């Protein structure tokens, strides 16, 4: 009896070993963020792809919407989703940077995520915006602080739209829909600045009116919950839209690394997006130069039980700090040891400028 059962038992063990071996061989995400200024010509993109291929990078996150503008062709083949975005000031009118990087990267089996800044709509310098830019068409969409002051364009990362405005949500929904429906060879999208600029913002008058109409018991707690819901609803809606157009396109987001600040200061409840299944991967931006602080934050993510849905964003630049490539490697090692889905380095410009490719152990 035992002699007959043993072979079956060992076959099961061998099958499990092969399964675990296969899972371990599945490619971890090894990504770099590529800012828009690295995508303004064929020569620059060729160099980005060459460097990625030489250094075993398997994912490029390319910034093709910077501040309400396009490094792609709006309504390229169809206009199912209305997209009036003007072209980015750095790029020639007829150059489709997104399609070019898709073509070149896919030749080398490198995935491409379209990096889309969402609620931030202006740079600090308005002279870089053409007169037809959406900021000039809808200045009333800009968020305001608690005393009613409009957010200044030279503050924070630029002026933000108010996430509580249905018009803003519909506009961003259409932008994503247009890109995904016209660039069907995309591997994914990455939503960035998917949050309020700070705790004191969100007081656009129309947003306040909607909140008062929708929420009966109004207090600080219900106000924060309402703000979180505005952003979460957009993520959910975009996710369902993308998967309807092409279920193979990933929906990801670059998110605030500190879990408490993300939820309270920025109304960005990204663990909920992962848990509820309307985000494929979150890329928390764990940008501290301190290995100890990075380790602490990664342990907090590990406790969420969502490791396989988190790609760890790490610092790959230095300014006033003497930041060595060995420090990046130590953080990468921690992320691997904790079995996260992978890591992403910000940014290609920082890596190239400080020669981090020489010695990087991705």
- 41 within some domain: yes
Q: Of the given ranges (13-17, 85-89, 210-214, 228-232), which has the lowest mean pLDDT?
A: 13-17
Tokens of 235: 């993520």
List of residues 6+ apart from 125 with CB closer than 8 A? none
Burial of 180 (0-12, 13-18, 19+ CB in 10 A): buried
Number of domains in the chain: 1
Rounded Cα distance between 73 and 22, Å, is 40
Evaluate if residue 52 carries a pLDDT over 80.
yes
Element (H, E) at 86: strand 86-87
Mean pLDDT of the 41-63 span:
98
Query: Residue 38 belongs to a domain with what CATH number?
Result: 3.20.20.80
Element (H, E) at 315: strand 311-315
Rounded Cα distance between 47 and 42, Å, is 9
Residue 92: what pLDDT?
Answer: 87
Report the percent of the chain where pLDDT is more than 70: 92
- 42 within some domain: yes
> How far is residue 312 from each of residues 58, 85, 167, 271, 348, measured CA to CA in Å?
15, 31, 33, 14, 16
What are the percentages of helix, strand and coil residues in the chain, rounded to 5?
45, 15, 40
Quote the domain boundaries for residue 347.
28-353
Question: Per-residue pLDDT tens for 82-110?
Answer: 999 999 999 987 999 999 999 999 999 99
CA angle centred on 250, ends 247 and 252, rounded to 5°: 145
Question: Per-residue pLDDT tens for 236-261?
Answer: 999 999 999 999 999 999 999 999 99
Separate counts of helices (H) and strands (E) for the chain: 12, 10
- 7 within some domain: no
CB 346 within 8 A of CB 33: yes
Q: For residue 66, give the nearest of 38, 94, 44 by alpha carbon.
A: 38
- 185 within some domain: yes
Q: Of the given ranges (215-224, 237-246, 251-260, 320-329), which has the lowest mean pLDDT?
A: 320-329
Residue 320: what pLDDT?
Answer: 63
- 21 within some domain: no
- 12 within some domain: no
Please state the separation of Cα 126 from the chain's center in Å: 25
- 298 within some domain: yes
Tokens of 108: 């080398």
């Amino acid at each position: 009896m035992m002699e007959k059962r043993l072979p079956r038992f060992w076959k099961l063990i061998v099958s499990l070993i092969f399964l675990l071996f296969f899972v371990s061989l599945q490619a971890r995400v090894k990504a770099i963020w590529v800012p828009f200024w690295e995508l303004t010509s064929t020569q620059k993109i060729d160099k980005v792809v060459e460097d990625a291929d030489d250094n075993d990078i398997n994912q490029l996150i390319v910034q093709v919407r910077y501040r309400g503008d396009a490094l792609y062709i709006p309504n390229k083949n169809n206009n199912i989703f209305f997209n009036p975005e003007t072209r980015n000031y750095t790029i020639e009118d007829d150059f489709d940077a997104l399609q070019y990087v898709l073509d070149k990267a896919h030749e080398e089996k490198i995935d491409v995520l379209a990096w889309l800044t969402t609620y931030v709509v202006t740079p600090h310098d308005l002279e870089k915006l053409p007169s037809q830019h959406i900021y000039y068409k809808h200045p009333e969409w800009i968020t305001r602080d608690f005393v009613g002051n409009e957010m200044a364009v030279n503050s924070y990362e630029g002026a933000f739209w108010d996430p509580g405005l249905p018009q803003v949500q519909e506009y961003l929904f259409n932008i994503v829909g247009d890109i995904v429906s016209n660039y069907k060879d995309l591997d994914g999208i990455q939503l960035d600045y998917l949050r309020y600029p700070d705790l004191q913002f969100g007081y656009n008058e129309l947003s306040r009116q909607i909140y008062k109409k929708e929420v009966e018991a109004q207090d600080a707690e219900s106000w924060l919950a309402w703000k979180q819901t505005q952003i979460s609803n957009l993520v959910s809606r975009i996710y369902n839209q993308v998967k309807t157009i092409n279920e193979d396109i990933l929906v990801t987001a670059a998110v605030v690394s500190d879990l408490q600040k993300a939820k309270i200061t920025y109304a960005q409840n990204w663990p909920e997006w992962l848990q509820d299944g309307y985000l494929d991967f979150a890329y928390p931006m764990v940008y501290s130069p301190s290995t100890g602080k990075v380790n602490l934050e990664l342990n907090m993510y590990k406790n969420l039980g969502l490791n396989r849905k988190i790609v760890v964003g790490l610092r790959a630049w230095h300014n006033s700090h003497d930041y060595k490539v060995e420090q990046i490697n130590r953080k990468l090692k921690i992320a691997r040891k904790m079995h996260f889905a992978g890591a992403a380095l910000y940014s290609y410009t920082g890596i190239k400028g400080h020669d981090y490719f020489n010695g990087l152990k991705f």
